[in-house]
Amino acid sequence: MNLFSALWLCFALLVAIGKYQHELDLPTCLTGVSLSKRQPDSVPASEDLTDLVQSGQDELYYGPVLVGAKTSKTFTCDFDTGSSDLDIPGPDCTPANGCPEAQNLKYDNSGTSAGNSTSVTYGPGMVTGDNYIDTVCVAGLCAPNTGFVSLNMSSGIDQNPPTCLMGMGFPEIAQSGLPPFFNNLINQGHLDDNSKEFSFCLGRAASNTQGKSKLTLGGRDTNSFKGEVTEVPVTKRGYWKVQVDGMRVNNGTILLPTIAEALSKADGAIDTGTTIILAPYAAAQGIAAAIPGAIPIALPLGLTGGVGNAMILANAVTAYPCNTDATVSMVFNGKPFEINPLDLSFGQLTGSIGQCFTSNGIFSSTILKLLSSLFDGKKGFPYCVASIAGASITGVQPFYVVGDTFLKNWYSIFNQDNPAAPYVGFAEANCQ
């Protein structure tokens, strides 16, 4: 694991923690404008996504979004089911404020001002901007009168690439109070009663499928998955939050203390915008205990680490033998869904991981540095860092964030055909 990969792992962990620290306190969304119904568009419609790969790791997935009725521009957006706002660099947002320098990568505010502004915190980063209304198109499907944030500032968020963020969560968590793009497609009648869903197939650089990632709107691409779809009910609208029954190693039950067993079964957000899996601390400890030779790297208690008001009570990553034959699965609806070993590893453990934690000002641990040095793969100790991290946070019930580490294995379908009973569907991915 080089320094860049280590820094990205740390960044992904902080973003996941900060992103969901407010999940019990959701904002109220405005109902939006009144629009007449129209005939549904031809769906499903698919858009190829670019897999951003750094040091061999799949970090995020983005694709083109067309914005503007008067002067349209194409932006590259991270499609994020873990948020609900569309954030686009505005004309006055400079590189000093975290935005691209080129004006063709910025919205020109040619739409209608909503007359208010939005400020959103994403883990260690924050964005602020003015709310605008304009036409937004993805994969040929256009929704006029879609609201978004024209950014004045983007702090702590890498936007090159992509240059914008499209939230695909429910309206209930839209910080701007504006309905998300996909819900506008539904409300404006672009999708019929049996096509109110979108789906993802996420490729993997290690399998040479990074060029086959795809977002499908208004349905599912039946060529991109195999077998039956398991429908997991959403427990509460907001995030795409479902019940996670637990995690298993080698398809066995993790033997944990009683309190850990209780913590391993919890709600989880299915989040395309998060690279890793964030698990309750006790569940992550149980995984480490069940993989032969694995070492949980527990970090000091009582840390804040730049994630707003959240206090991290316990936090850990796991080092494990890179050549392990252990398999890790997540359990939904009582059924195990295996994670490919290629996705379980975030890379070999080196001293960079210790540099990462200390350089961010989060931790100062001589023990962590020692472990990083001791299990440096270059010295003949081939240990890997798991892309499953554990955390326990004040004010938040035990919670999973199910990111791309899992979703690269399973085609994911986000269905709202029945607004009162939305679900996430999983089927074996076959990106092509």
CA atoms within 13 A on the CB side of 308: 20
Residue type, 60: L
CA 432 – CA 429 distance, rounded (Å): 9
Q: Which of 58, 78, 245, 271 is catalytic?
A: 271
- The candidate with the shortest Cα–Cα distance to 184, out of 84, 43, 269, is 84
> Across 163-262, where does the E strand assignment appear?
164-167, 197-201, 214-217, 225-236, 241-244, 246-249, 252-253
8 Å CB contact between 377 and 383: yes
CA 430 – CA 204 distance, rounded (Å): 11
Q: Which of 51, 58, 78, 80 is catalytic?
A: 80
Number of other residues whose CB lies within 10 A of the CB of residue 302: 9
Q: Which residue has the tokens 């698990």?
A: 279
CA dihedral defined by 78, 318, 315, 124, rounded to 10 degrees? Answer: -30
Residue 25 appears among annotated catalytic residues: no
CA 225 – CA 237 distance, rounded (Å): 26
Q: What is the DSSP string of 364-407?
A: --HHHHHHHHHT-GGGT--EEEESEEEEEETTS-SEEEE-HHHH
**DSSP-assigned beta bridge partners for residue 278:** 389, 401
Cα→Cα distances 363→128, 294, 350, Å? 28, 22, 17
8 Å CB contact between 270 and 412: yes
- The candidate with the shortest Cα–Cα distance to 201, out of 186, 180, 223, is 223
Cis omega before residue 162 (within 30°)? yes
- The candidate with the shortest Cα–Cα distance to 298, out of 375, 245, 357, 373, is 357
Residue 158 appears among annotated catalytic residues: no
Q: E strand or H helix at 341, and its extent?
A: helix 341-344
Active-site positions read: 80, 271
